[in-house]
Amino acid sequence: MSYILQKIFYINGAAPLPIGICLIVFFLNLFNGMAMSNLSSYLPQLVKGFNVSEVNAGKYAGVVSSSLSVSRIGSSIIWGYLCDKFGRKNSLLWSGSGLAVATLLFGFTISYIWTVVTRSFQGLFM
């Protein structure tokens, strides 16, 4: 089966892509997109679950939502420097690992402050 796929996708003499690295990059991009977009579907209920009044729920939801983007802006220069110094592969592995840990911590938050903090950590590793 592998031989047939190589004949279909690669011209003669071309080196095949390492499937393991391709899968790692695929899942890193998938989880990055999920961390960016999945919060919007349940953010209002999440904020109301922290005993925030109906009047202030929109403001608090906006702070949670924007904390990722604000920290992402601040960390992009740092990640660019780290990519230049340590290489793209190492930086991608470190940022992906940090994003995974931050997303896991976000899933276990029980207060509004920790929700903002872990959401900011997600932005730091993007």
SS3 category, 66:
helix
Q: How confident is the model at residue 119 (pLDDT cuts 50, 70, 90)?
A: very high
What was the pLDDT predicted at 13?
A: 67
DSSP type of residue 39: G
What was the pLDDT predicted at 2?
A: 66
- Distance between CA atoms of residues 107 and 118, nearest Å: 9
100-110 pLDDT, tens digit each? 899 899 989 99
75-99 pLDDT, tens digit each? 999 999 999 999 888 888 888 889 8
Question: Per-residue pLDDT averaged across 45-52, rounded?
Answer: 88
Tokens of 85: 């110094």
Tokens of 17: 């892509």
Share of the chain above pLDDT 70, in %: 88
Residue 46 clears pLDDT 70, i.e. is over it = yes
Q: What is the pTM of this model?
A: 0.76
Q: What is the mean pLDDT of the chain?
A: 85
Tokens of 82: 């780290």
54-77 pLDDT, tens digit each? 888 889 999 999 999 899 998 999
